[in-house]
Amino acid sequence: MEQAAFTMFLRPGQAEEYRRRHDAIWPELAQALHDSGIRDYSIFLDPGTHVLFAVLRRTAGHTSDQLPQREVMQRWWRYMADLMETNADGSPRQGALVPMFHLD
């Protein structure tokens, strides 16, 4: 399994709505993530900065790079756009994180 981590940026005052929407994640989106090889996906919030920290594991041969082309992913981005900073294509603005330490 490959581990990946990244940041996203929540708009102030949107934490509870962000949590509510993720608590009710669409089954077809969860299936698309799983089908692409994503496992053990968690998102954390730093409430002081509104930075979201995501970490996930991906199977060998994952196809997560193809998720942006899937209709359900684009629909989710539109659904979440009012809560987050986004790019011109509607995707969440993200920042890759560089692994610095791991203890197994």
Q: Which of 22, 34, 50, 102 is catalytic?
A: 22
Q: For this structure, is 22 an active site residue? A: yes
Q: How many angstroms separate the CA atoms of 33 and 104, rounded? A: 25
CA 73 to chain centre: 10
b/e sequence 18-41, b meaning 16+ C-beta within 10 Å = beeeeeeeeeebeebbeebbbeee
The residues, ordered by sequence, that sit 6+ positions from 65 with a Cβ below 8 Å of its Cβ are none
Catalytic positions, written as ranges: 22
